[in-house]
Every structure is written in C-alpha cells, then in structure tokens.
Amino acid sequence: MTPEPPARGDTVTHGDNSPAIGFVGKLFLSVFLGDFVDFTDQAKRWSGWNWPPFLLVVSLGAYALIYAPDGPARQFLWVHLALGTAVALALVRLVLPARSARAHGRVLMSAAAVICSFAGVVGMDHLADHGEIDVTGRTRISGGTVTDSTVTNGSRLRLVVDSPADRSRLRLTLTVRDADKAAQFCAPETRYSAQLLGNTSTRVDDVRSGQTIGFPLGGLQGAIDVEITLLTEEGCRMNLFVTDAVLHD
Amino acid sequence: MAPTSTTGRRARPVPGRLFGTVATLVLLVGLAACSSEEPEREFLGVRRITVAMHNDLPGLSYSSNYDRSGLDFLMFQHIEEEIDVDFSEPVDVSSGDRVTQLIQRKADMTIASFSITADRMDEIDFVGPYLKTRQGFLVGPDGAGIERLADLRGSQICTWQGTTSVEALEGIRETAGADPVTLTDASDCIEQLIDGQVKAVSTDQAILYGFARQYEKEGLRVVPDVTIGAPQHYGIGLPKGHTADCRRLASWLKKHVGTSSWIRDVETSLPTLIEEDPGWISSHKPSAAEIEARSCRDSISP
C-alpha cells in the first residue's frame, strides 16, 4: 500500500529514531524560536510554549544589566537600545494572537528578539573590557592653599586619580573659577598647563577652564598622577576643580 | 449725411499718463510723511538715558559747581555722541548704590569706576573694561618712608564702603600686619589721611592718582609698585535684558579703546598716572579679547 503524501508543512521522517529526532528538533525550535505551530496538536493548545523565548530574552537582558560596568551613560545607548528592542519584540511575539500573524513572521520576530538580546550581552561585555570609565569621583586635587583651597598664579597642584590605569587614555576637563567673586573676575584670562607626573612629553599648555584635554597612559603603572600649574594675573585667587575625568581606549 | 464719430474722448498720450501717475504717487507719499511722526529711538528700553556717575573722584568723575570732569565723564560724552538717543544730565551715585540704582532703574547706565566682578555680573550686565587698574596705596607727608607693603605694618589703612577694595584689604591684616578701616566714602578717607588719623588710603590706583594730583600741596602721593589684590576692570554697568544694545555698546568700545582718543582721554584725566608709570598703556589699556570676555555675559561659566 502506498502511503499518503505528507500534507503541506508536515515533516516526514524515516528510520528507527526518526520520530525522536523530529520531536527534539521541533522542541528546540519551539524553545528558541517560539514557533510551535507545526509542533504537536497538544502544544498548539498549550500556550505556555510561547514563554521560553520571552524568558530567554528577559534573562539575557537581566544578565547584561546586572553585569553592566560603570561609565558615562551615553556609551550604553546602543546596548540598552538592543536589549529594549529584544524585550519589545519578545513581548509582542508573546501577546500576538497565533492567527493574526503568519508563522514566518512570528519566527522572524522571535529570532530578531534573541539576536538583539545576544547583541546586548556581547555589547555589554565589550564595554566592560573597553568602555569608558568615569573616574571623576575618584580624583583628588592637592597643593592649593590649605585654609581655603584657593590657588594663585604659579601654584602647582597634583591631581591624583585613585584608580588603576585600566584604559589606554585619560580624558580630563577642569573648571577654574574666581575664588573671590565679590572682588575680581579673572577667569577669562586664566590658563593652566598639565602633564602626567614625570612624563614631559605629555605636557599640555595654555588650557582654558572647561577645555577638555587627553593623556596617553600607555605603560603607566599604579595611580594616575597629573601635575597642574596655574597661570593667572597676579593677585587673582582662583578655585580649580575636576568637572570630568574619564578613562578610555 | 455727414459721418458720425464713434469715439467719445481721445486717449491721453503715454508720457502724459506716466507723468500724472508719478506726480500722484509723490503727492501721496508726501502726505503720508507729513501725517505720521518719525518714530522715536530707544536704547535700553527708554527714549532718554539717565547715566549715574560719581561726583567725588578727581581724575575719574568729579563735579565742581555743576561742572563735571574726569575719564568717566569723557567716556559718557563719547557714548552720548555714539548712541543716537537723548541723554539726561548725569545723576550722582555712591559706590554702594551702583548696582541697586540699575536694578531699580533709577539709572539706565552707570559709568562710575565700576569694577567688573563675578558677583555683580549675576545681577547686571557690563560693557568693558574701558580701563584696567590695580589696588594701591596713597600716603601723606607722614608716610614719606613707605616704599614697601611691609612698611605699613601696624598702621591704619582706610578704604570706603561699596567697593571691591574692602575685600582685598581684608587680607592685609595677615599679609602686612596692618589694620584696615572702612569709612562711608572717599572724602572721609582723604580727610583722615590729611589729618594723620590713618597712615594710608587704599583703593584703585587710577582713583588714587586723581587724589594725589588734587591734593599735591598737602603732600599726598601714590606708593609706586605696591599693589594688592586682583586687577580691577572698569566697566559700564547696564541693567540686564538688553542684549542687543549691550552688544552694540561693546562693539563700539572695542574700537574706541584702540583709538588715540582713548589715550588722549587718559592723558588728560590722569596726568600723574602717566608721569609715574611710563608703561601705563600696557598695564591699563584693555584688549578687545578682555572686553569680549566680560561684556554682556549672562553667565560667568567658560
């Protein structure tokens, strides 16, 4: 007797373990792609099979967020965007009525959600190794007048970053303001020079308040130590503080 | 039967019509010009500017028998020529009232040896500086031997209220062991110096040189090369909220300080300063960059 030809969409297997291979393959698809339209009649009736891809996406997203490194928020933008897209897609796939979308569309939706969440995890991992590290809160300046922390023309200060040089460069922005606001306005002409302690090749001169400068940290061992020399008009009393200090590659 | 003409009137030739149209337009424009008054000009939101000035600082802003003189007054005259609006007669202002008068709009502009400071910039706008100076010391016949800051140890030094000199002088107790005294106004300090009640008067050298010249017979002199505090930048004070007018004035000032007129004004007003400090232009003349950095700023941030 000739067997009936398989219906469109059905899978035909042959051999001793053929049914098992078909079952496992479909289960895999179901778990990772959430598409169980062709699985079994029982599965079709049990909507719980929709949940595995959603839970997978949420788990990956949670993992990425828990292990997110410190750093400026802007560098996490694309990672958060990928994770957000993944969750949104998985959620839509979950709540979408089975008959309202074609099987291929649902498969693509699930696949895109899983890919986005993996991309988010990989991106977060990359940022942990190479992303920017905000060390503004780990900097301290010493060397100003002890009583009121003001600095004058020619004052030499030391800016120490209490963090290992985990990246190849340091980006620094300092702000210089008038200490005696009632008696002067010296800020416009005030400048400073800066260099990594003991490394004259890194010297940067004529830096204005609010201007961003960078230092290469290649091969630096231990704490980052920057020497700053203030240049202002005689008699001006200034305050100097760190606005932004970021380690980056 | 004689033929009948079909046209009622003959059309006027083209040049005639053109002339008529132009004549009518000219007449209409003329009538419109006569019927509407020319709009009055405004500066700083008013049609008549009131300028506040000192009246007791010889060389900078001095008034005697309703006759004003000094560098600030010359600056006022230049501005009066530059800005095409009416100006009232200047009103007097004390050092302590300069900011308040502008905020309360009792004056629209202040030209009164008005130092630009970060605090004042929060409340008013400045156009300037038009002169730079430093805080120095004026001594009398009793202070003939005073040549250094250390020579003032143990003596009383006078300044007056409402000036930046008060802040700078506060530190002299620690740096020179002198005793600062703050009186109501400049004339009080000068009287006490002449009477020998205080050893020195301390404020901006530009002001002190004016007093030194006026009280030359009494033996007052400025101690050369002895200064304290930060450089002072004299600006024209304006109420906030008139950025376009402020920028216009700043643009004019940048050009003005580069002219011989500015040099002549200082030479005329402060001859003693010129005599005592041959390099006065480099130390007292502001640059265009300094004017740009301090004029019409809403924030002191870089």
Confidence of residue A44 (pLDDT cuts 50, 70, 90): very low
Put simply, the answer to whether A233 touches B290 (Cβ < 8 Å) is: no
Among B183, B227, B224, B181, CA closest to B204 = B227
Of A3-12, A164-173, A222-231, B190-199, give the lowest mean pLDDT range: A3-12
pLDDT score at B227: 92
Residue A2 lies in a domain: no
**Interface membership of A179 toward B (CB under 8 Å):** no
Which one of B164, B167, B230 has the shortest CB-CB distance to A233?
A: B230
The last residue of a domain, from among A130, A160, A179:
A130
pLDDT score at B267: 95
Q: What's the mean pLDDT in A199-215?
A: 91
Residue B103: both structure tokens together: 């905020």
For A108-123, the pLDDT digits (tens) are 888 888 899 889 889 8
Are residues A78 and A153 located together in one domain of the fold?
Answer: no
The rounded distance, in Å, linking the Cα atoms of A186 and B299 is 14
pLDDT score at A49: 61
The rounded distance, in Å, linking the Cα atoms of B146 and B224 is 10
Q: Looking at the predicted structure, is the pLDDT value of residue A41 above 50?
A: no
How near does any CA of chain B get to the CA of A238, in Å? Answer: 10
Start-end ranges of CATH 3.40.190.10 in chain B?
Answer: 48-133+233-294, 135-229
Are residues A137 and A116 located together in one domain of the fold?
Answer: no
Query: Could you tell me which residue, B152 or A165, shows the higher pLDDT?
Result: B152
Query: Could you tell me which residue, B18 or A220, shows the higher pLDDT?
Result: A220
Residue A12 lies in a domain: no
Confidence of residue A47 (pLDDT cuts 50, 70, 90): low
Are residues A200 and A143 located together in one domain of the fold?
Answer: yes
Which residues, 6 or more positions from A184, have their beta carbon under 8 angstroms from its beta carbon? A178, A235, A236, A237, B117, B118, B164, B229, B230, B231, B232
Residue A205 lies in a domain: yes
How near does any CA of chain A get to the CA of B131, in Å? Answer: 14
Residue matched to tokens 């300080």? B257
Which one of B168, B233, B289 has the shortest CB-CB distance to A185?
A: B233
The residue in chain B having the minimum alpha-carbon distance to the alpha carbon of residue A191 is: B302
Do B286 and B257 contact (CB within 8 A), yes or no? Answer: yes
The rounded distance, in Å, linking the Cα atoms of A5 and B294 is 90
Residue A7 lies in a domain: no
Residue A220 lies in a domain: yes
Residue A61 lies in a domain: yes
The last residue of a domain, from among A63, A95, A130:
A130
- List chain A residues with CB under 8 Å of B170: none
Which one of B117, B294, B301 has the shortest CB-CB distance to A181?
A: B117
Total beta-carbon pairs less than 8 A apart between chain A and chain B:
69
pLDDT score at B161: 87
Are residues A105 and A183 located together in one domain of the fold?
Answer: no
Give the count of beta carbons closer than 10 Å to the beta carbon of residue B112: 27
Are residues A209 and A234 located together in one domain of the fold?
Answer: yes
State ipTM.
0.79
pLDDT score at A29: 53
Continuous segment of H or E residues that includes residue A40: none
Mutate to test the interface with A, among B135, B174, B283, B301 (most CBs of A within 10 A): B301
Q: Which residues of chain B have pLDDT under 50?
A: 1-9, 35
pLDDT score at A39: 46
pLDDT score at A129: 83
- List chain A residues with CB under 8 Å of B293: 188-189
Q: What's the mean pLDDT in A15-20?
A: 48
Q: Homologous superfamily of B48-133+233-294 in CATH?
A: Periplasmic binding protein-like II (3.40.190.10)
For A90-100, the pLDDT digits (tens) are 888 777 766 65
pLDDT score at B139: 95
Put simply, the answer to whether A185 touches B121 (Cβ < 8 Å) is: yes
Do A237 and A177 contact (CB within 8 A), yes or no? Answer: no
Are residues A94 and A139 located together in one domain of the fold?
Answer: no
What is the tally of helices (H) and strands (E) in chain A? 5, 9
Residue matched to tokens 């979950």? A94
Which one of B117, B290, B302 has the shortest CB-CB distance to A184?
A: B117
Put simply, the answer to whether A182 touches B119 (Cβ < 8 Å) is: yes
Check which CATH number belongs to the domain holding A143 and give it: 2.60.120
Residue A5 lies in a domain: no
Which one of A186, A208, A233 has the shortest CB-CB distance to B302?
A: A208
Put simply, the answer to whether B294 touches A189 (Cβ < 8 Å) is: no
Are residues A47 and A116 located together in one domain of the fold?
Answer: yes
A234 lies in which domain range? 133-248
Are residues A165 and A191 located together in one domain of the fold?
Answer: yes
- List chain A residues with CB under 8 Å of B237: none
Domain count, chain A: 2
Do B45 and B242 contact (CB within 8 A), yes or no? Answer: yes
Q: Homologous superfamily of B135-229 in CATH?
A: Periplasmic binding protein-like II (3.40.190.10)
pLDDT score at B65: 84
The last residue of a domain, from among A110, A130, A150:
A130
Are residues A125 and A143 located together in one domain of the fold?
Answer: no
